[in-house]
A and B are shown apart, each in its own frame.
Chain A
Amino acid sequence: MLSLTRLLIISLLLAGLFSCVKEEIKITEFDYGIQPQFGVPIANVTILAERLIENYNEDGLIDVSENGSISLIYRDTINPLSAADLLNAKGFDYKDTIQLTSVEFDELIDLGSFTVQSDEIYAFQTNEGDRLDSVRFASGGLFLNVFSEGTFPISGFIKIFNADNTEAISIDFTDNTPPINIANEVSLENIRFLFHNSDDISNGLRIQYEVTLSSEGLGNSEPVFIELGMLDFSIKRAGGFIAPRRIDFEDETVEISLFDDPNVANVRIEDPRINFNFENDFGLGMGLFIDELTGKNVNGETMVIDGANINQLPPIAASQQMGVPALSTLIIDNELMTPTVTDLMYFGPNKLIGDFGLIINPESIDNVFITNEDELKMNFEVQVPLFGSIANFLLVDTTALDLGNLMEDTENISEIEALDIRLIVENGFPFDAGVQIVFTDSLFNPIDALFESPQLVFSAAPVNLVVAEGDPEYGRAIGTTKTITDVRIPKSKILGLENATQMIITVFGNSAGNGNHPIRLFSNDAFDVKLGAKATLNLSSDD
């Protein structure tokens, strides 16, 4: 048996043989020696043309046709024309005076009473030339005033008769206490007058009255004044012949915000329209006559088109049935106007001012009807189809910039060596576009820019030029163009933006083909953007 001592010595020898620190590695600075690159998607957005236009064109409407083509509509709604505006009825104001002669006075004293009668046809006042058959009132009142300074009691009646001799209204009156002052009123609600129309009188009503004076002896005979008139009336319905007349509209203005930006230049719109839309409740036709159209741009310049250079427009249809309005749209296109509507739009007017007149019943139709609920609703609009070309458009926007957090984070994240921003655009719009972002200080002194020089980043989608130019599909985007842009932002560049407080964003470009041929924008044309970032980390530094 080996002694314990020998065992221990053997063990130590064996341990010493095999255990030793092979090497020492002293680290004063550690370098991971790797520069991994991590890519993450940041955001994505798909912008449809219709949505883009909606956002950009807040003041206008968007019209999408059946095939999806987009038009911008700028509209001015004109105050509707009511029945009262059309008829301009004034009613009547009948006055008469009874003055007894001496013989009549004596008869009054002798007999104790004397009666005076009158029966005549009196005209209901409307516009000159109207020959109404009837009028039914919706509201209003008929007042009768009889007054006299004389001392004789008075009694009597006054009646209005229709053309068919039926009694329309009858008012009795009496006053036994001098001075005589009688004021009566009856409602005209739902009262119908049938008028006499002849060579001598139009819109006539037969007014008959009888006034009896009473006497119990001597007295003072003074004139008796009779007044019969209409108060605050409205016509519920009227029929007959309404004489043609003109109602003028001046300075009706359409705001075309598309041209508010003076930088929107060199825009040629193919086939724009100036439309007049009518919704006619009246049972009579009308006509539109344009006196003058004036375009005014943001610089204050004007372009005037005289009405004589605009072809006659078709009539405005009459309602054929009560309660069913007739719709009419009168269109002025390039063929009806000289210079053309395209020329007018090329001028870039942000206001279009119209002076025009409505001719009521231009064809002198005899039997027409109107009711008090009838209106003529109308608007005046400019329709701008997104079909045309634009060369060298330029949009500039300035926005405040706050990179404080980014600066702080960048200084703290020392491992980020560089940041590559990747922009992937699938452009389904028929526009080439470029963007430049310039970072400036508070005095707008440039500090840095996204690109060294402005460049077209998004190429236009291919467009259909195979069909004829008049074809609705001409100029339509028929595919997409994909562009991938990488912008490297080294850390030094990020830190250099420390003093940047403003960011000037400039978007520029033109329609496909450098703006040399028209393109057409459709509602489902899409612009898809994907934004990603690739961070290159440098884990070499010892921090």
Chain B
Amino acid sequence: MIRAISILFFVMLFSVSGLYSQQSGQVGVFDFLPQSVYANPALRPAGRINIGLPGLSQVYFDHGNNWFKPGDNLVADANGKVTLDAEKILGSIDEFAYTGQNLGFELIHVGFRFGKHYVHARAAERVQIGLTIPKDIFYLGVYGNVGDHKFEDNTVNMSGLGIDAIHFREYGIGYNYELNKKWSFGLTAKYLYGMERIETEQSTLKLRTDPETYNMQTSGSFIVNTSGIYGSASGGDEDIHDDIKTYLLGLKNTGFGGDIGVVYRPIEKLQVEFSANDLGFIKWKTDVANYGTNDASFAYNGIDLTDFIFVEGSDFNDAFQARLDTLLDDLEDAYNFTRTEEQFTTSLNGYLRYGASYEVLSNEKFVGKAWLSVYHGILDSEVPFSFSIGYNQKFWKAIQADVHFTKRAHFSPSLGAGLSLNAGPFQIYCLAENLRFTRFAKIVVVDNDNPQDESSFVYFENPQDVRVHVGINLTFGLKKEDSPGGRPMKR
């Protein structure tokens, strides 16, 4: 039991849905941070020279789970018997259950401003994993295919079931130009180096069960493409991880991408932003494996005994075994478990961002502005619609704080906050979309046979839309930029 529960939570922690490579909605507002250019390449950080501490300048963590909350879904009695409230889980899922996790590490970030220009260069390691489970699969697990739940047309619709994962490195060079006081433009060009990929290209599987005869019929398609997985899974010579140099620098999975943005200040205190981010693709060529079928039609009506029903003894056994073997062959043919090696191209999850901010409080020491931003994916992107509205306040030149409200599609609304602290050039920051991430549920599993044997796990109490950015930068030239200009007057 311990193992089962362990696996359950492991899956929930590390299984992921949808490649939501989206940054926190408040990143663009934090102009103290050099990472503000991620929101819009036309935004200009406050520091003249910005250097991210290698590997620590931005650690990004994103976990999303729209269907499971330990406190709500695990009901405990006084004796330690815990029951999973399946109905509640089902109630929290609309059409799909999403479980996802993204991790990003900025390897290096350097930016500097000269005149109207701002240039930055960066490299980041990005890992995104996603698992999308249609609600019908949950119904299937809770009720079975012939239980109390009536599936539409007696069919379990597994369309949309998918696993998507990517690990790539991004090298970017950004340029930002302040045309005048009203307009700024920016773009970032990226070179993408793919390392591993799992992509669900097609997923339209369905399983129909006849309510009377229990005859089963599958249909639809399911195709998964992978790169960098087959070699290590099969234990053969193709494992790209065997040679670290090849793995880090020598793979042939390359691509290009970019961000482009514009900032417009129609009046002094108002700023309007628009950007298109994460436009790009990677072509996967190394250790490629494709599995699946365009036609997963298969019907199982039981073993047909008509031809040998009257045969007895070993002849019957032989005929039965032959029929069974034929059935298995048909199943294998239908689901096409044979690997092919076709190269494939995947797009990044591009998205558009619209932002606006208005200074509501402005003096020498305190600058506060209200802001809002909207994200949504473009084309096949899985970035969901997200809306944020908040207030950002600077204290002196040392603190920038933010509080905001975010609603992201498929997740419940959340309250987020951010804080950036500057001690001279030393800058530390933490931005969170969902303050509930700090609250955890600790699950302790006790082995009944050996009560001393305990395993414990910690999980978010409310795991919906947990996004956290933390990092350490060195920023220079903040004071100079904000000091009043000219020479002091002498009486």
**Cβ-based interface call for B180 (8 A):** no
For residue B305, which residues in chain A have a CB less than 8 angstroms away from its CB?
43-45
What is the 8 Å Cβ interface bit string for chain A, positions 13-30, against chain B (1 contact, 0 not)?
011001111111111111
CB contacts (< 8 Å) of A424 on chain B: these are: 212-213
Q: Decide yes or no whether B214 CB sits under 8 A from chain A.
A: yes
CB contacts (< 8 Å) of B148 on chain A: these are 37
**A45 touching B439 in the complex, CB below 8 Å, given contacts A31-B83, A40-B216, A542-B1:** no
Q: Does A422 contact B (CB under 8 A)?
A: yes
B445/A27 in contact, CB under 8 A: yes
Residue contact B439 to A20, C-beta cutoff 8 Å:
yes
CA distance in complex: A200, B141 (Å): 108
Which residues on the A side are within 8 Å of B79 (C-beta)?
Answer: 28-29
Q: Within residues 208 to 252 of chain B, which ones have a CB less than 8 A from any CB in chain A?
A: 209, 212-216
A-B contact pairs, 29 of them (CB 8 A): A4-B423, A7-B421, A7-B423, A7-B428, A10-B421, A18-B439, A20-B440, A22-B440, A23-B442, A24-B444, A28-B79, A28-B81, A29-B81, A29-B82, A30-B1, A31-B82, A32-B83, A32-B86, A33-B83, A36-B141, A37-B143, A37-B144, A39-B144, A46-B306, A424-B212, A484-B212, A530-B213, A532-B215, A534-B214
> Count the A-B residue pairs with Cβ separation under 8 angstroms: how many?
176
- Contacts A30-B5, A33-B84 hold; do A2 and B399 have CB atoms under 8 A apart? yes
The answer to whether B160 has its CB under 8 Å from any CB of chain A is no
Query: A: which residues have CB within 8 A of B?
Result: 1-4, 7, 10-11, 14-15, 18-47, 51, 55, 422, 424, 484, 530-534, 537, 542-543
State whether A41 touches B147 (Cβ < 8 A). Answer: no
B86 to chain A: which residues have CB within 8 Å? 32-34
Residues of B176-224 whose CB lies within 8 A of A? 209, 212-216
**Residues of B in contact with A, size category:** 35 or more
Question: Is there a chain A Cβ closer than 8 Å to B419's Cβ?
Answer: yes
Establish whether residues A27 and B213, one from each chain, have CB atoms under 8 Å apart when the complex forms: no
Note all chain B residues with C-beta closer than 8 A to A51.
310
A71 CB to closest chain B CB (Å) equals 20
Q: Report if B435 contacts A (CB, 8 A).
A: yes
Q: A2-B398, A22-B461, A422-B214 are in contact. Are A38 and B442 (CB under 8 A)?
A: no
B422 to chain A, nearest CB (A): 8
Kindly report which residue of chain A lies nearest to residue B455, judged by CB atoms. A27
Cross-chain contact A2 with B423 (CB below 8 angstroms): yes
Whether A44 contacts B438 in the complex (CB less than 8 A), given A4-B423, A537-B144, A542-B448, comes out as: no
With A2-B399, A26-B76 as contacts: A11 and B302 at CB distance below 8 Å: no
Which residues from chain A contact B5 at a C-beta distance below 8 Å?
27, 30
Contact in complex: A32, B84 (CB < 8 Å): yes
CA distance A272 to B237 in the complex (A): 78
Q: Which residue of A lies closest to B139 (CB)?
A: A36
A37 to B141, CA, bound (A): 9
Nearest first, the 4 A-B pairs at minimum CB distance are: A28-B80, A36-B144, A41-B302, A39-B214
In the complex, the answer to whether B302 meets A42 with C-beta atoms within 8 Å is yes
Question: Does B50 have its Cβ within 8 Å of any Cβ on chain A?
Answer: no
Distance (whole angstroms) from the CB of A531 to the closest CB of chain B: 6
* Inter-chain contact A30/B82, CB cutoff 8 Å: yes
Most buried by B among A1, A14, A23, A530: A23
Partner of B142, one of A2, A29, A34, A543: A34
Q: Is A36 a contact partner of B81 (Cβ separation < 8 A)? A: no
CB distance from A524 to the nearest CB of B (A): 14
Distance in angstroms between the alpha carbons of A27 and B421 in the assembled complex = 41
Q: Apart from A42-B302, A42-B303, what are 20 other A-B pairs with CB-CB below 8 Å?
A: A2-B423, A4-B426, A19-B439, A21-B458, A23-B441, A23-B442, A25-B82, A25-B443, A28-B448, A31-B82, A32-B83, A33-B83, A36-B142, A36-B143, A37-B144, A37-B146, A41-B300, A43-B303, A47-B306, A532-B215
